[in-house]
Amino acid sequence: MRLLVTGGAGYIGSVVAAQLIEAGHEVTVLDDLSTGHEDAVPEGARFVRADIAEAGQALDGVDAVLHFAAKSLVGESVQQPERYWANNLGGTLALLDAMREHDVHRIVFSSTAATYGEPERTPIEETDPTRPTNPYGATKLAVDSALTAYAEQRGLGAVSLRYFNVAGAYGRYRERHAVETHLIPNVLKVATGERESVSVFGTDYPTPDGTCIRDYIHVADLARAHLLALDAVTPGRHEIYNLGNGTGFSVQEVIDVCREVTGHEIPAVVGERRPGDPAVLVASSAKIQRELGWKAERAALRDIVADAWGALSRK
Ligand code: UDP
């Protein structure tokens, strides 16, 4: 297929673009490089440097869009909501209009666990209430609602994948945010000597060791789900799938595994809770397993950390 990957110079988008090329698809990456890196665009992809609002120039003859381009920092979304609404919702609506103009009726959308907010139960299923607690989650949920309406009224075929905590690396493709807020890369920065210690945001949560529990999924497993989703997109339908490992690991467990993998002592300093962090976030991925036959292949935390570490030591 001829595919447009928005945000394909970013962490997850570049891994998906690489897997699509390996599977024989023809890929154009559209990215404004506001947070992405041009050298992350996989070999073999055509690259267009542009904002998603200008996606029309790259849509001729395209069969489907995989849409990753977005602002994705929770804290920043609280401080600068306009940026998130304009980019994540406004930009996506412009993309959907351009898709209609160019007769492109298939999209796989990068959604998030942040659409659920503070969960009432665990693991979270797709039918659970969506009550985002920050503008980031709210903008992604708004896009999900638009996709449902466009599927019903305009015949769009859409699949939203709601990611939990994506980590690890795929070959040379790795996480490298200018502002790094995520746990695993921050812990590994201690092992590489870029940071003195890692902060543990709270040890008084109602969990066995008092630290927050998250569902870490390997980026290669996550990316593979996009290829399955692409095959499953059906005009007139919008499907939503959670994507996680189904197993939670605590912040303390993550730090311990990083110590084992890197052989570095990784000093940890206990700090305050980070506002807005739920104690436990774990996905039920039963729906995508059942309907699309997806299964995590590198589910062990050790493998996820080892791949992230391997990519860092190769850089
Ligand atoms: N966390 C931490 N120290 C850090 C970064 C994150 O203790 O330097 C904790 C954070 O409070 C959360 C978990 O690690 O409980 C995962 O955070 P991350 O930002 O990686 O992902 P999120 O779950 O917020 O999407």
Interval 88-99: pLDDT, tens:
999 999 999 999
Interval 234-253: pLDDT, tens:
999 999 999 999 899 999 99
For residues 112-140, average pLDDT:
96
% pLDDT > 70, the chain: 100
User: What's the whole-number average pLDDT of the chain?
Assistant: 96
CA of 200, closest atom in ligand 1:
7
Neighbours of 233 (CB within 10 A): 20
Interval 171-195: pLDDT, tens:
999 998 888 999 999 999 999 999 9
- Tell how far the Cα of 84 is from the centroid of ligand 1, in angstroms: 21
Question: For residue 67, is pLDDT > 80?
Answer: yes
Check residue 52 and give its pLDDT.
Answer: 97
The alpha carbon dihedral of 245, 27, 179, 92 has a sign of negative
Query: What ranges in the chain are assigned the alpha helix state H?
Result: 11-22, 74-79, 81-84, 92-101, 135-154, 183-191, 219-232, 251-262, 286-292, 301-314
Residue nearest to atom 12 of ligand 1 (CA): 212
Interval 127-162: pLDDT, tens:
999 999 999 999 999 999 999 999 999 999 999 999
Both tokens of residue 102?
């160019």
Could you tell me the pLDDT band of residue 277, with boundaries at 50, 70 and 90?
confident
Check residue 87 and give its pLDDT.
Answer: 98
For residues 87-116, average pLDDT:
98
**Model pTM score:** 0.96
Collect all residues with Cβ–Cβ distance below 8 Å to 54 and sequence separation of at least 6.
Answer: none
Check residue 177 and give its pLDDT.
Answer: 83
Question: For residue 56, is pLDDT > 90?
Answer: yes
- Tell how far the Cα of 129 is from the centroid of ligand 1, in angstroms: 23
Q: Residue 29's beta-bridge partner residues?
A: 5, 47
Check residue 246 and give its pLDDT.
Answer: 86
Q: Which residues surround ligand 1 with Cβ inside 6 Å?
A: 165, 181-183, 186, 198-201, 212, 214, 251, 274, 277
Single out the residue of 199, 201, 204, 217 nearest to residue 301, CA to CA: 217
Question: For residue 313, is pLDDT > 90?
Answer: no
Choose one of 73, 214, 305 to mutate for the ligand 1 pocket test, by most ligand atoms within 8 angstroms of C-beta. 214
Check residue 315 and give its pLDDT.
Answer: 67
* Residues annotated as catalytic (active site), given as ranges: 136
